[in-house]
Amino acid sequence: MTMKNYCWALIDAINEEMARDPDVFLAGEDVAAAGGAFGGSRGLLAAHGPLRVRDTPISEEVIVGLGVGAAMTGKRPIVEIMFMDFFGLCMDQIVNQAAKMHYLYQGAFKMPMVIRTMTAVEMGIGPHHSQSLEAWVGHVPGLKVVMPSTPRDAKGLMKSAIRDDNPVVFIENLALHKIKEDIEDEEFLIPLGKADIKRAGRDVTVVATGLMVHKALAAAEILSQEGIEIEVIDPRTISPLDVDTIVASVRKTNRALVVTSAHKPFGLASEVAAQIMDHAFYDLDVPVARLTPPFTPQPFGKGFEAFLHPDKASIVAAVRELMA
Amino acid sequence: MSHAIIIPKLGLTMEEATLVRWHIPAGQQVAKGATLYSIETDKISFDVEAEADGYVDQIVPEGDVVPVGALVGYLLERPDEASPCVSSVAEAAKVVVDNVPVPAASAAPPPMQATLGGNMGEGARRYISPLARRIAASNGIDTGALTGSGPNGVILKRDVERAMAARNAAGGPIGGDAPSSSVSRRPMTAMRRAISQRMQQSLNTTAQMTGFGKVDMTEMVQWRSELLEVMPTDAPRITYTDIVTKACAGVLREMPELNSYIDGDQIVTWNDINVGIAVAIDGGLLVPVIRNADRLSLLEIAAQRVALIDRARTGQITPADLEGGTFTISNFGSYGGDFETPILNTPQSALLGIGGITDEPAVRDKAIVIRAMMMLSLTYDHRLIDGAVAGRFRARLRALLEHPSVMLALLG
């Protein structure tokens, strides 16, 4: 076992897959010479050379477009869009090209591409870098969407994403880059589409993603002292969503809370709530609750952002209300 | 490619079913068309066939009550496949198509309609969680008697569990002081629950009255035995139930007041005359319906009765066979009864019980003679049907049953 942080776990994953498969390459803004805008590709240029680790111009549409073309011709590109907020510049390539090729050509083309991107939610860097826009891509059939919350999940899921023949949007969380975890030295994969029960409990199912997983786990400690045991489920992959694990938990607890950094309207929290209604309505003792930031743009300033977003205290309060 | 297993809707009024049994164990392979699981509704048991080949993935365990359309499992292409995860665009599209439940071909809309409701005043609405409602229903807890402890008085699981604990502590509904070792408990079957609810609801919502009348069946007995002698052996054997059904249908055509019911402050009259026949089966009672009995010959009535009773006793009955009755006949003579006070099959307003035919002394022309006598027990909803009307119905029935030639002439 080796202690790794989230950022280095991801570098390890990409490094291992590039060494394993010569078709894997990495392209994006500042990924080569600079080792990544936030250090997320350090050492890869030296290890795999300039042909396979390439800096690109500042043109998001071109970055994803080159990935689509390369994937159609048999390569396994990892293309990086520095912040998910910039998806607006390359949505046509992601939604109309990458997600549709396999379908339009009746499976003649595969699309083994990873779109590596990031949210910097709650890092105090304003409305253009801090959005949680996973619903944009989770809404599109043909895309898989991954958003890990721990270093080990990040590594195992990145390796599976690279090996997957479908386009995978891989959403990192900058706020989690420095958290550390012991990771086994042997190779391992974590399958896409499989949720993880981060903490088992009997009273309330709390489904949380990204940063909110850690806040839910902190809330669980406080609630446990009151005799309330919450079960914290991290879907890890939001598309396809592991409805089975969530529903099985709700069947046990009869209560559910969904906590996300993304807004309520049309978001993951709403989708999870709807799935619970579809599959476990007669197991619900109280309505499913959603806890999210209010429907406003992301502000500058960490204090204001912290004020708007769910935290340990608001999760505790929401769970207590479900138990009332 | 997985195929969703969804509880079918078998009749217009079906809302939920108990998944009684999985015939194929989880993980085992099943072929399309094989019996996959059995469900029990409040009236029937039904075997559901696999709609595709595959490996069985069971989501809902045996014994669970599930709503119509509920996903209870998957038929998976491979035994190790994860059920709901869709791994490619093409599969996603196929799952969407395959998940669309196929509605059961519904028969002619039944004239019967629910008569519940209408008696809940404003503000009387009680909120209960879906889970609490389900637990209460499957344990026979009357939620109307519960006090909700949730926000705004919502009845939650804990309230139902508290009521169950209290009931158990009190030794159940019969007698508070019986030692627990002297009773045995078992859950009601869906059929018993339905019968119990319907009987109680019938007595709670109507004003029932039963009138009796004796019929001299001597001529009819004679007529029938002559008829049976000349009937081909493969023809359905005409019974007194068939004869009474035929007579009732004819009189109901003359007297539609008995083919009616009260709905709120309106009187609804059915245009069709559909006669239900109460049939005792193992563990309960079914009332299959002979439709448009007034337009059928005696032989056609007998043929339909034979087929319906056969289906009822072999578990092959369908919801369509049971829906739509407007009048019911119960032959308790067949188990030795002479007269009873049967309970209405609501929303119907009249039910005729037939007693056994026995030789009795009777006075004819100032002399005591032996006649074959039968007692009719007519229960009716006294809110709608006056005693004189019920008496006229019995008298008309008697006129037909006592004189086969008259019945033949009038009803064909």
CB contact under 8 A, B89 and A103: yes
Considering the domain architecture, whether residues A176 and A306 belong to the same structural domain is answered as no
- Residue ranges making up the domain that contains A81: 2-183
CA dihedral B208, B212, B218, B223 (to 10 degrees): -20
Could you tell me if residue A190 is inside a domain? no
Considering the domain architecture, whether residues B213 and B358 belong to the same structural domain is answered as yes
Considering the domain architecture, whether residues B213 and B72 belong to the same structural domain is answered as no
Report the amino acid identity of residue B407: M
Considering the domain architecture, whether residues A253 and A290 belong to the same structural domain is answered as yes
3-class DSSP state of A170 = strand
Considering the domain architecture, whether residues A30 and A116 belong to the same structural domain is answered as yes
Identify the pLDDT of residue B88: 42
Could you tell me if residue A263 is inside a domain? yes
Report the amino acid identity of residue A25: F
Considering the domain architecture, whether residues B182 and B198 belong to the same structural domain is answered as no
Could you tell me if residue A28 is inside a domain? yes
Residues 6 or more apart whose CB falls under 8 angstroms from that of B285 comprise: B195, B278, B279
> Would an 8 Å CB–CB cutoff place B26 in contact with chain A?
no
Q: Note whether B398 and B239 are within 8 A (CB).
A: no
Could you tell me if residue A99 is inside a domain? yes
Q: What is the pLDDT of residues A35-57, one digit of tens each?
A: 999 999 999 999 999 999 999 99
A76-81 vs A24-28, strand pairing mode: parallel
The sign of the CA dihedral B323, B328, B333, B336 is positive
CB contact under 8 A, B156 and A284: no
- Residue ranges making up the domain that contains B259: 193-411
> CA-based angle B97:B100:B103, to the nearest 5?
140
Q: How far apart are CA B55 and CA B265, in angstroms?
A: 55
| Residue among A166, A282, A324 minimizing CB distance to B151 | A324
Q: Note whether B294 and B249 are within 8 A (CB).
A: yes
The CATH number assigned to the domain holding B34 equals: 2.40.50.100
Considering the domain architecture, whether residues B327 and B250 belong to the same structural domain is answered as yes
Considering the domain architecture, whether residues B403 and B341 belong to the same structural domain is answered as yes
Put simply, the chain A residues between 100 and 139 with a CB less than 8 A from any chain B CB are 102-103, 107
Instruction: Verify whether residue A129 is a known catalytic residue.
Output: yes
Considering the domain architecture, whether residues B376 and B393 belong to the same structural domain is answered as yes
Q: Mark which of A155, A183, A211 sits at the end of a domain.
A: A183
The CATH number assigned to the domain holding A106 equals: 3.40.50.970
Q: What tokens does A99 get?
A: 């997600």
Domain count, chain B: 3
Considering the domain architecture, whether residues A230 and A202 belong to the same structural domain is answered as yes
CB contact under 8 A, B88 and A102: yes
Considering the domain architecture, whether residues B52 and B162 belong to the same structural domain is answered as no
Could you tell me if residue B161 is inside a domain? yes
Could you tell me if residue B111 is inside a domain? no
Q: Mark which of A183, A213, A237 sits at the end of a domain.
A: A183
Considering the domain architecture, whether residues A151 and A236 belong to the same structural domain is answered as no
Identify the pLDDT of residue B83: 57
Main-chain phi, psi angles of B182, to 5 degrees: -95, 5
> Would an 8 Å CB–CB cutoff place B83 in contact with chain A?
yes
Could you tell me if residue A148 is inside a domain? yes
Task: Classify residue A301 by its DSSP letter.
Answer: S
Could you tell me if residue B357 is inside a domain? yes
CB contact under 8 A, B134 and A166: no
Identify the pLDDT of residue A73: 96
Of A48, A102, A129, A263, which is the active-site residue?
A129
CB contact under 8 A, A102 and B89: yes
Considering the domain architecture, whether residues B80 and B149 belong to the same structural domain is answered as no
Among chain A residues, CA nearest to B158: A285
> Would an 8 Å CB–CB cutoff place A215 in contact with chain B?
no
Among chain B residues, CA nearest to A110: B88
Could you tell me if residue B260 is inside a domain? yes
The CATH number assigned to the domain holding B142 equals: 4.10.320.10
CB contact under 8 A, B156 and A283: no
Considering the domain architecture, whether residues B265 and B391 belong to the same structural domain is answered as yes
Give me the helix-helix angle, B130-139 and B157-169, nearest 10°: 20
Considering the domain architecture, whether residues B166 and B205 belong to the same structural domain is answered as no
Considering the domain architecture, whether residues A149 and A261 belong to the same structural domain is answered as no
> CA-based angle B233:B237:B243, to the nearest 5?
145
Task: Classify residue B191 by its DSSP letter.
Answer: H
Q: How far apart are CA A268 and CA A309, in angstroms?
A: 16
Q: What tokens does B384 get?
A: 């709608």
Q: Note whether A45 and A33 are within 8 A (CB).
A: yes
Q: What tokens does B85 get?
A: 């995860």
Q: Is B53 exposed, middle or buried (0-12, 13-18, 19+ CB in 10 A)?
A: middle
Could you tell me if residue B378 is inside a domain? yes
pLDDT by position in tens, chain B (length 412): 688 888 888 877 778 888 988 988 888 888 888 889 999 887 788 888 898 888 888 888 888 888 888 888 888 888 777 655 434 444 433 433 444 444 444 444 433 333 333 344 445 567 899 999 999 988 888 888 888 888 888 899 999 998 888 888 776 554 444 445 567 778 888 888 888 888 988 998 999 999 999 999 999 999 999 999 998 888 899 999 999 999 999 999 999 999 999 998 899 999 999 999 999 888 888 899 999 999 999 999 999 999 999 998 888 888 889 999 999 999 988 888 888 999 999 899 999 999 999 999 999 999 999 999 999 999 999 999 999 999 999 999 999 999 999 998 888 7
The Cα of B150 is separated from the nearest Cα of chain A by a number of Å equal to 7
CB contact under 8 A, A240 and B86: yes
Identify the pLDDT of residue B95: 39
Put simply, the chain A residues between 61 and 80 with a CB less than 8 A from any chain B CB are none
Identify the pLDDT of residue A255: 97
Could you tell me if residue B381 is inside a domain? yes
Chain mean pLDDT for chain A: 97
- Number of C-alpha atoms within 13 angstroms, CB side, residue B142? 7
Model's pTM, two decimal places?
0.54
Could you tell me if residue A188 is inside a domain? no
Considering the domain architecture, whether residues A155 and A224 belong to the same structural domain is answered as no
Considering the domain architecture, whether residues A138 and A214 belong to the same structural domain is answered as no
- Of B150, B148, B70, residue with least CA distance to A286: B150
B16-22 vs B35-40, strand pairing mode: antiparallel
Q: How far apart are CA B240 and CA B228, in angstroms?
A: 12
Note the maximum CA span of chain A.
60
Q: Note whether A74 and A44 are within 8 A (CB).
A: no
The CATH number assigned to the domain holding B264 equals: 3.30.559.10
Residues 6 or more apart whose CB falls under 8 angstroms from that of B170 comprise: B176
Considering the domain architecture, whether residues A19 and A163 belong to the same structural domain is answered as yes
Q: What is the pLDDT of residues A69-123, one digit of tens each?
A: 999 999 999 999 999 999 999 999 999 999 999 999 999 999 999 999 999 999 9
Q: Identify all chain A residues contacting B130, using CB atoms and an 8 Å cutoff.
A: 281-285
Domain count, chain A: 2
Instruction: Verify whether residue B359 is a known catalytic residue.
Output: no
Within 10 Å of residue A220's Cβ, how many Cβ atoms? 23
Considering the domain architecture, whether residues A139 and A75 belong to the same structural domain is answered as yes
Considering the domain architecture, whether residues B141 and B221 belong to the same structural domain is answered as no
Give me the helix-helix angle, B404-411 and B218-230, nearest 10°: 70
Considering the domain architecture, whether residues B397 and B300 belong to the same structural domain is answered as yes
> Would an 8 Å CB–CB cutoff place B76 in contact with chain A?
no
Report the amino acid identity of residue A268: L
Q: Where are the beta strands (DSSP E) in B176-303?
A: 208-216, 260-263, 266-269, 275-277, 279-281, 284-286, 289-290
Q: Mark which of A162, A183, A204 sits at the end of a domain.
A: A183
Considering the domain architecture, whether residues A141 and A11 belong to the same structural domain is answered as yes
Could you tell me if residue B12 is inside a domain? yes
Could you tell me if residue B113 is inside a domain? no
Task: Evaluate if residue A235 carries a pLDDT over 90.
Answer: yes
The CATH number assigned to the domain holding A318 equals: 3.40.50.920
Q: Identify all chain A residues contacting B88, using CB atoms and an 8 Å cutoff.
A: 102, 166
Identify the pLDDT of residue B98: 44
- The CA distances from residue B187 to A159, B63, B138, in Å, are 52, 11, 8
Considering the domain architecture, whether residues A236 and A112 belong to the same structural domain is answered as no
Q: How far apart are CA B295 and CA B300, in angstroms?
A: 9
Residues 6 or more apart whose CB falls under 8 angstroms from that of B354 comprise: B240, B241, B244, B329, B330, B331, B332, B333, B374, B376, B377
| Residue among A99, A279, A285 minimizing CB distance to B71 | A279
Could you tell me if residue A191 is inside a domain? no
Q: How far apart are CA B30 and CA B34, in angstroms?
A: 7
